[in-house]
Amino acid sequence: MQTKNNIYCIYSDNFKTMNVKRTFGTVLTILGIIGLIYAGYGFVQQSQQTRGLLVYGIIGLIFFISGIGLVKNTKDEA
């Protein structure tokens, strides 16, 4: 009986870790989308802060790509 409890605990901890990864990937994706929209809006409005908008765009792109990759590569073991 003790072996089954240990296996259940290992499975349960692994399942929680997968949900955290998926949630973190979703948060990164949303932040990336917000950064890209902000940078795009600033470029359309022809703001004078080109360097700042470029930084927001690059960081947004990095967040978006890493978030999508994290969600895509995390296996759902439900």
Find out whether 36 and 67 touch, Cβ atoms under 8 Å.
Answer: no
- Residue of 29, 32, 34, 38 whose CA lies nearest to 69: 29
Q: What tokens were used for 33?
A: 């989308």
pLDDT at 15: 56
11 against 16, higher pLDDT: 16
For the chain, the structural domain boundaries read: 2-73
Judged against a pLDDT cut of 70, whether residue 36 lies above it is answered with yes
Cβ-count burial 40-67 (b if 16+ within 10 Å, e if not): eebeeeeeeeeeebeebbeebeebbeeb
pTM: 0.70
Average pLDDT score over residue span 17-38: 90
Mean pLDDT of the chain: 81
